[in-house]
Structure 1
Amino acid sequence: MSEQQLARSIVCHMNIILEDGSTAESTKASGKPARFNVGDESLSPAFESEISSLNKGDKHSFTLDAIDTFGESNPDAVHHMDRSKFPADMALEPGVIVSFGGPGGSEIPGMIREVAGDSVTIDLNHPLAGQKLTFELEVVEVL
């Protein structure tokens, strides 16, 4: 079977639920369903196997470990920066998302984890990295 025969897109509303039962993300809140491309290697094999056979109208819920979603939290992605590297009027407190320039003009978001004196701890891991997540999907369309 060729890659083109396997490739298709699944458009669905999705809730991402944390282990404590709270909702981390909901496409229904924004009114914009998510689109997943099956067969293009953009999804983990475990995630892809959960959604590959879904059809329009299907509802499916599944739980995956961090390694199969946003990855494990990488301690090398946590950095300590001097307060002087930030604009003087910027509110620096835990939970604030700060954008940094990445390769090729891309932007890399980082979350402030701690501010201690002149030291600001920035975590460049995805906010959902290292967490076991439950996905609740409702398929709107299959392309």
Structure 2
Amino acid sequence: MSDQEQAETAADAEDADVEATDEEPETAGLGDGDFVRLAYTIRTADDGEVIDTTDEETAEEAAIDTDEYEFEPRIVTLGAGHVFPSVESALEGEEPGDAGTVDVPATDAFGEYDPEEVETVTADKIDDDDKYPGAQVQIDGRQGRLETIIGGRARVDFNHPLAGEDLEYEYEVLDVIDDREEQAAGMLSVYLQETPDVRIESVTETEETVTEDDDGEETTETEAVEKDVLYVTATQAMQMNQQWMFQKQQIAQDLMGRLDLDRVVVEEVIEGGGMGGLGGMMGGMGGAGDIEDALEDIDVDADEIAAELDEE
């Protein structure tokens, strides 16, 4: 190859490098495990009835009670079952600013309507206040809608109220959430329908490791370990939330797994009208200051107590 040909080849390579550098890097878009803030409105496909929305104005137009809920964009986690599978598929690869509408078939939403889920039960299983057509009733742990009640018998529909309904899911991707505290609050809001106060702190704990050598002699080594702990302030509504009461362990495990946490601590906060009733009790005991002094004088040795119990 001549010197001129070599120079032309080098120039072409240089131009190719410049073009590659000028190109914007490709982004993968949203994927499994991403936390995304969504604005959305869900309607029934046949008549356009709004069944859920993050927009307060849309809720007011649909005559949805706006006093009971907060209407604002929600944080959802892809891959966690927070949205319908067909919606999750549509969100894959999307970026902030993207929007669209997804047709969600009934099978992908709340299931097909099953006539066998309409059952006859004895009327005495229904509270007197709920003995009217259309009432939402709880029968043997199942949620249903009362259709008719005649004498001592009642017909109850245990299908989901939206069973058999195709839906339209209109969405806009607002942004991707990287802050772990926001992610935690977003996950909890999906479960609780409210957003509790949360914080993540790194705490140092001491862990002991016991090793045994060939002679059977044990050696204890102490190591300082950093732990990431999520603190959640429990509201009164949260403590009364049935999903939280029955699934708190599962919810905590989900939080720890997705946010790489070591522990979840729920803090109970009691607010209200002072300590009037307890004040008299404390006065009879010599006052709070005397109690603190007395506690400081108590020396309890847990090992000594355990030894005494073993002797008994």
* TM-score bracket for the superposition, by shorter chain length: 0.7 to 0.9
Do the aligned partners of 2:136 and 2:144 also contact (CA within 8 Å) in 1? yes
CA RMSD of aligned residues (A): 2.6
Answer yes or no: is 1:15 the counterpart of 2:41.
Answer: yes
The one-character-per-residue Cα deviations of 1:78-137 (angstroms, maximum 9, x if unpaired) are 22212111122x1333332223454xxxxx432223334433222222211111111111
Structure 1 range deviating more: 109-118 or 119-128: 109-118
Question: Structure 1: where are the runs of 5+ without partners?
Answer: 103-107
Do the aligned partners of 2:121 and 2:154 also contact (CA within 8 Å) in 1? yes
C-alpha distance in structure 2 between counterparts of 1:54 and 1:15, whole Å: 18
Question: Structure 2: where are the runs of 5+ without partners?
Answer: 1-30, 60-68, 178-312
Q: 1:6 is paired with a residue of what secondary structure?
A: coil
Do the aligned partners of 1:65 and 1:132 also contact (CA within 8 Å) in 2? yes
Structure showing greater Rg: 2
Do the aligned partners of 1:77 and 1:123 also contact (CA within 8 Å) in 2? yes
Q: 1:87 to 1:40 in 2, by over 3 A?
A: closer
Give the total of aligned pairs: 133
Q: How does 1:15-94 map to 2 (within 5 A)?
A: 15-18=41-44, 19-28=46-55, 29=59, 30=69, 31-40=71-80, 44-88=84-128, 90-94=129-133
Q: 1:39 to 1:121 in 2, by over 3 A?
A: same
Do the aligned partners of 2:42 and 2:169 also contact (CA within 8 Å) in 1? yes
- The offset of 1:41, in angstroms, is 5.1
Q: 1:127 to 1:10 in 2, by over 3 A?
A: farther
Q: 1:124 to 1:140 in 2, by over 3 A?
A: farther
Q: 2:130 is paired with a residue of what secondary structure?
A: coil
Larger RCO, structures 1/2 (Cα 8 Å, 6+ apart): 1
What's the TM-score, normalizing by structure 1? 0.73
Residue 220 of structure 2 is matched in structure 1 by none
- The offset of 1:49, in angstroms, is 0.9
C-alpha distance in structure 2 between counterparts of 1:79 and 1:71, whole Å: 18
Query: Quick check: which one's helix share is greater?
Result: 2
Percent of aligned pairs sharing the same letter? 29
Do the aligned partners of 2:126 and 2:139 also contact (CA within 8 Å) in 1? no
Q: 1:123 to 1:49 in 2, by over 3 A?
A: same
Q: 1:24 to 1:82 in 2, by over 3 A?
A: same
